[in-house]
Amino acid sequence: MRTIETVEDLKSWVRDMKESGQTIGLVPTMGFLHEGHLSLVEKAKHENDKVVMSIFVNPAQFGPNEDFDRYPRDLERDQQLAASAGTDIIFAPSVEEMYPRETQIAISAGAQADVLCGAKRPGHFDGVLKVVTKLFHLTEADRAYFGQKDAQQLAIIESLVDDYNFTLTIRRGETVREADGLAKSSRNVYLSETERKEAPHLNKALQLGKQLVLEGNNPLPAMTDYLNEHVSGKIDYIELHDYPTLTQELHDEAILALAVQFEKARLIDNVIINLKGI
């Protein structure tokens, strides 16, 4: 495995791969890898000749009071894990390399960013679209892999690719969970011992809500009561939307999603519900 830090070196490698007819799978990350990221690498390895993982903590998607400076970083550890999963190239640019000058053209995530996490993080998904657009062009990937845990991000990126005729395909990866059901996240390291014991109740609340939705009931009151009883963190939101449009009118699939703010970590989780009963 090779680590590339500059745009020019990445473009040179991509050019060589394309000239030899190799397909490229891209796994965008902000590092501090866990099994969820590695499952995406395994999926990409199965479907492509080469796998590029980007490791870049993207300042464009962090707000003024968010945790950019303390976001966990450990490149050496990430390199070992990425290599063990079969990654061919790590692209780990500096902020200056990725954004050498102030960007003049802005990309807006639109109405899909006005619900769930985006409602309280203005500009966050604009920053996500900014970095993935650059990564899609730089890697010339045939397929890019994103986890369902960040389901709003996934839906918005799928819209970007569809609306603007990107040539790559977005591939979804299922949420990877701990044995007790907690969705794996780089931010889980910030949970206290007590909070870590409480955190699996987020998924339990979602499963309760899913059953209520399938029975034709409003899941939000029961989920709110359940979480208030079982976790010390503050509920940020519990919402039900169509998926992937994120509108209020439900069709074939729905997303039931929640966010809970613990003392030092804000955890999100969701479940996609097939409303057709198949």
The answer to whether residue 66 scores a pLDDT higher than 90 is: no
Is 150 annotated for ligand binding?
yes
| 63 or 183: which leads in pLDDT | 183
Residue 278 has pLDDT above 80, yes or no: no
Domains of the chain with CATH codes: 2-173 (3.40.50.620), 186-270 (3.30.1300.10)
**20 annotated to bind ligand:** no
For residue 44, which of 169, 131, 130 has the smallest C-alpha distance?
A: 169
Q: What is the pLDDT of residues 67-105, one digit of tens each?
A: 788 888 999 999 999 999 999 999 999 999 999 999 899
Distance from chain centroid for Cα 24: 20
**Contacts for 159 with CB less than 8 Å, ≥ 6 apart:** 110, 112, 244
Q: Is the model's pLDDT at 19 over the cut of 80?
A: yes
Model confidence band, residue 45 (pLDDT cutoffs 50, 70, 90): very high
Q: Give the residues across from 234 on adjacent strands.
A: 261
pLDDT computed for residue 70 by the predictor: 83
Check if the beta carbon of residue 54 is closer than 8 Å to that of residue 44: no
Q: Per the residue annotation, which of 37, 124, 201, 241 is the catalytic one?
A: 37
Output the pTM of the full model.
0.91
CA–CA separation, 6 vs 3, rounded Å?
10
Separation between Cα atoms, residue 90 and residue 82, nearest integer Å? 8
- Classify strands 143-147 and 89-91 as parallel, antiparallel or unpaired: unpaired
Nearest to 107 by CA among 27, 161, 167: 161
Please say whether the beta carbons of 155 and 146 come within 8 A.
Answer: no
Q: Any binding-site annotation on 30?
A: yes
Please indicate whether residue 37 is annotated as part of the active site. Answer: yes
19 is in an annotated binding site: no
Region 162-167: mean pLDDT is: 97
